[in-house]
Amino acid sequence: MSRFGPDPLAFFEAVYRDPAPWDIGGPQPEMTELLEEYSPQGPVLDLGCGSGDLAIHLAANGLETLGIDFVEEAIAQARSKRATLASDIAARLEFCVADALQPSRLKRTFGAVVDSGFYHLFDSEQCTRFVDELASVLRPGGRCYLHEFAVTFPVPNVPRQITEAELREEFAAEKDWRILTIRSGEFLSRVAPVPAIVACIEYVGTNGAKPF
Ligand SMILES: C[S@@+](CC[C@H](N)C(=O)[O-])C[C@H]1O[C@@H](n2cnc3c(N)ncnc32)[C@H](O)[C@@H]1O
């Protein structure tokens, strides 16, 4: 069973009936700092994009960006924000309802994937399959940006702790990944900041991905 009960979609739909705790009115600052330090190539895929602030930030910085989330209300909120943007930014931005655990189903490839609080929702077996999915949609030299909880709270229905050791194992050199940085940080929320881990990892393989 998922960390969020037998029906994770119903769980997240219920969360979006009120302002979501992760909806801080903008992208996570440490994710935007990471993107400044290790610049992404477009097009960018934002996995579990929520109400769209990170995708909007990327499009405002000139990158073609697709945000996906499985909650229709989250995508509706993201599209409402898109409707208020300058037309050149909005033209670079797309949001759709889709399963972010299976981005290969989009039948598209990307220069970068951003994951702000998505990976940590899943148990390690699911994450292993998810990392293979990431490789299949990233172009050679494409980068993956992660910002996840570094703690597990002793309550149900919360993300799990992601460690540097786990990321080094999942994104191993033998699986064609090259770690550019992994460091500690904070994940801001409407409740309180949470200790976090931040990483930028490059896909150096060609398996399943089309070259630029
Ligand atoms: C912790 S929130 C983070 C939202 C956003 N990235 C942010 O930083 O504000 C996780 C998001 O993942 C979405 N999600 C969970 N499982 C999903 C799945 N299988 N496919 C697509 N979205 C999913 C949830 O609906 C939620 O919007």
Taking only the tens place, the pLDDT of each residue in 38-82 is 999 999 999 999 999 999 999 999 999 999 999 999 999 999 999
pLDDT band at 209 (very low <50, low <70, confident <90, very high): very low
pLDDT value of position 212: 45
| CB of residue 67 inside a 6 A radius of ligand 1 | no
**Ligand 1 pocket test: which of 15, 70, 190 has the largest number of ligand atoms within 8 Å of its C-beta?**
70
Residue 87 and residue 92: Cα distance in Å, rounded? 9
pLDDT value of position 207: 66
Q: For all residues of the chain together, what is the average pLDDT?
A: 95
pLDDT value of position 155: 87
Q: Which atom of ligand 1 is nearest to the CA of 99?
A: 20
pLDDT value of position 151: 96
pLDDT value of position 54: 98
Residue 50 and residue 37: Cα distance in Å, rounded? 24
Ligand 1 centroid from CA 117, angstroms = 7
pLDDT value of position 205: 94
Higher pLDDT, 151 or 206: 151
pTM score, two decimals? 0.96
Place of tokens 């050791």: 165
Nearest protein CA to atom 11 of ligand 1, as residue: 48
**Structure tokens given for 189:** 């929320």
List pLDDT tens digits, range 119-143. 999 999 999 999 999 999 999 999 9
